[in-house]
Every structure is written in structure tokens, then in C-alpha cells.
Amino acid sequence: MRILGWLLTTVATIGLLALASRVSIPVAPPMSPVPITLQTLAVTLAGALLGWRHGALAVALWLACGAAGLPVLAGGGAGLAKFTGPSAGYLFAFPIGAAAVGALIAGGWNRNWPLAIAAMLVGNALCLAGGAGWLAWQGSVAHAWAVGVAPFLIGAAIKAVVGGLLARWLAANGFRTPR
């Protein structure tokens, strides 16, 4: 029964990530070559709800589905090319962001609103750092900041507040994140 529950939550998380990826707002270059999506909200929630191991694994399996050709990435994208393009750094950072949030929430960062939001901010920051690192490697740090971080800061803050409030509300109503 435990394996069935694990499989169901993993499939549901992959579905949530795919759905969040469909909400995609293209950003006109030169502002950013990367679209604005709800992916980081879903990634951080995966960690918060499933715990660091299961959350990171579910995110990695979602990425594997995208690499295998299933249209689950931003805007219904798929294929290995997504893992070498401008969004690659974010994609590679997503499991790390989920794991970090899962570890923080399991460690008690959902005991109050500010800490829960801070945990989500950490997850978002790790995702942005991965994306910026990839873009800096392909260009310059200034360019990476301008197109890979700055356009996403307000959205990341909003998603962190929404995710943090949800994580706190769940904790206040008896939900416990697995360790």
C-alpha cells in the first residue's frame, strides 16, 4: 500500500508540474530568453509537501519525462534541446530547489508564516541561481542578472508568498511533511 501511495503522489506531482508549466508567459527578448511560468511554485510545493527526497525525485522524474519527449515543460515543450537551451540552468536547479524547501519545511520552517515564506524564497533563489549560472556561463554575469534574474524577482516573491502561506496553512491543519 505504501508503494501505491508513493506512486500516486509522484504521478500527481508530475501532473501538477506539467500543469504549472502550461502557464507560460513569453518574455520578449532582449528582456529574457526564458518564459515566466508557475514552475517554481510547483517545484517548491513538491518539496514542501513530499519532503526533500520524494519532492526532488518527483521533480527529477518530471524532467526525465520532458527529456523523453513528453510535452510537460514550459509551454508544452519537450526534448533534450530544452536541457541545452537558455532554460537549462533552471531545469537542472529545480530538484535542488525542491530538496532544499523540503528539508527546511521538514525542519520546522512551516511553524510560522515568515519562516514558511522564507523557505519558499530559498527554493526560488536556488532555481534563479541555477538559471543565472547557466546564462553567465554562456555570456556574462551582468547579462545573466539582466535576463535571468531581474525579470523574475517580483514573480518569485509572489510565488514564495503563495507557497509559504499554503505550507503554513497545511501545517496549521495537521499536515506533516515527510523527512
pLDDT tens digit sequence for 112-127:
999 999 999 999 999 9
The whole-number pLDDT of residue 1 equals 57
The predicted model scores a pTM of: 0.94
CATH number of 2-172: 1.10.1760.20
pLDDT tens digit sequence for 88-111:
999 999 999 999 999 999 999 999
What are the residue boundaries of the structural domains of the chain, listed by start? Answer: 2-172
pLDDT tens digit sequence for 132-179:
999 999 989 999 999 999 999 999 999 999 999 999 999 999 888 887
Please, which contacts does 74-82 make with residues 24 or more away whose CB atoms are closer than 8 Å? Answer: 74/21, 74/24, 74/35, 74/37, 74/39, 75/21, 75/22, 75/24, 75/26, 75/35, 75/37, 76/21, 76/22, 77/21
